[in-house]
Amino acid sequence: MASGKTQLIITLAIVCAAFTANAGPVRVETRAVLLAPDTPDIRTAGTLRFLGGLEMASPDGHFGGFSALHVSADGKRMIALSDAGMRLSAKLIYDRNGHLSDIADTGLDALSGPDGRPLRAKRQADAEAMAPGAKGEVIVAFERDHRLLRYMADETRPRPMITPAGLKHLPANSGVEALTQLRNGALLAISEGSKGGGDAVAWLGDSRGWSMMSYQLDGGFRVTGAATLPGGDALVLERRYTLRDGVAARVRRIRAGTIAANARLTGRVVGELRPPMTVDNFEGIGIRRDETGRTLVYMISDDNFNPLQRNLLMMFELME
């Protein structure tokens, strides 16, 4: 039997293959961005070292709104899901220093529902998070109509999953925003949380079902994404917006040993982006380890289909 780490790498490879098979080509224009445009020498945000970033745009009206991100284990491809039910695939290109420099072979298509038809209505199409499953499938979390769907590698129609207790009763725009498969195969799901503060509802799912947890919020930040580190800890992406300070994003690290039923999850901040740094509405996060042992963190932003916002894709090294 394959080890947990080997199985996860195999699963991640299947995820990219399955999720990019039917994507149609889409023209995407990119522009390189710096971590701090007014101070190019700034290359770090906490323990995150900047390794390149892109602003992405397309004349296709379906392009944008990216809320979930996955990067293949070899770093060659990415897929992103939008809150309009679209799926972007792309080849990742790096310069000779290993920094993210462009994307290519971009494709865009619609997610399908259990009836096999493309998801179109906002209430049905609002994909916010995804994670690989234990059988090579992709599990996608939707909000508004709160639910989880399993997209199997060899099936055209996704299978509904049993939803965690209490999920259906959350506000329409505050469902599961973060979903990641842990090293032991369990799923960690975290809701966005309330604008008024307090803890966000979270769940741990395994073969026995779903167990409820909570996730500590502070400083006005709310959960937008999660990914699992090679060693088993989880990184949780958070976002904040205020009229006075604008948008900010931060990443917190949750120790693997603290993720258990009925736990209150807390973690330390490993990096924070705020103006004058390059930052937007970051909602998707992906992680991989390269051949030299570096832990690489990718983040993608949701422009809300607003011309005043940007679709950013940024890459960092987590300096552990």
Residue 257: give its domain's CATH number: 2.115.10
Query: What are the Cα distances from residue 305, in Å, to 92, 281, 309, 311?
Result: 23, 11, 8, 9
3-state helix, strand, coil in the chain (%, to 5): 10, 45, 45
d(CA 265, CA 287): 20
- The whole-angstrom distance between residue 286's C-alpha and the CA centroid of its chain comes to 6
pLDDT in tens, 182-237: 999 999 999 998 877 789 999 999 989 999 999 999 999 999 999 999 999 999 99
Number of domains in the chain: 1
pLDDT of residue 153: 84
Query: For residue 203, is it left (φ>0), alpha (ψ between -120 and 50) or beta?
Result: beta
Evaluate whether 4 touches 184 at the Cβ level (below 8 Å). yes
pLDDT of residue 272: 98
Which DSSP symbol is given to 163? Answer: P
On the question of pLDDT at 169 being above 80, the answer is yes
On the question of pLDDT at 6 being above 50, the answer is no
Three-state DSSP at 9 gives helix
Confidence band of 11 (pLDDT split at 50, 70, 90): very low
pLDDT of residue 19: 52
pLDDT of residue 22: 55
Which tokens go with 277? 């740094």
On the question of pLDDT at 317 being above 60, the answer is yes
Farthest CA pair distance, the chain: 54
The range of the structural domain enclosing residue 181 comes to: 4-318
Place of tokens 């770093």: 75
On the question of pLDDT at 7 being above 50, the answer is no
Considering only CA atoms, which of 318, 320, 289 is closest in space to residue 12? 289
**130 burial type by CB count under 10 A (0-12 exposed, 13-18 middle, 19+ buried):** buried
pLDDT of residue 23: 63
Which of 139-148, 162-171, 229-238 shows the lowest mean pLDDT across its residues?
Answer: 162-171
pLDDT, mean of residues 237-264: 95
For residue 87, which phi and psi values (nearest 5 degrees)?
Answer: -130, 120
Q: Which amino acid is at 161?
A: M
Taking the CA atoms of 273, 305, 89 and 122 in sequence, report the sign of the dihedral they define: positive
Indicate the helix (H) or strand (E) that contains 148: strand 147-151
Evaluate whether 160 touches 168 at the Cβ level (below 8 Å). no
User: CA 134, 139, 141 angle in degrees (round to 5)?
Assistant: 145
Identify whether 164 is preceded by a cis peptide bond (ω within 30 of 0). Answer: no
pLDDT in tens, 31-70: 999 999 999 999 999 999 999 999 999 999 999 999 999 9
pLDDT, mean of residues 252-260: 97
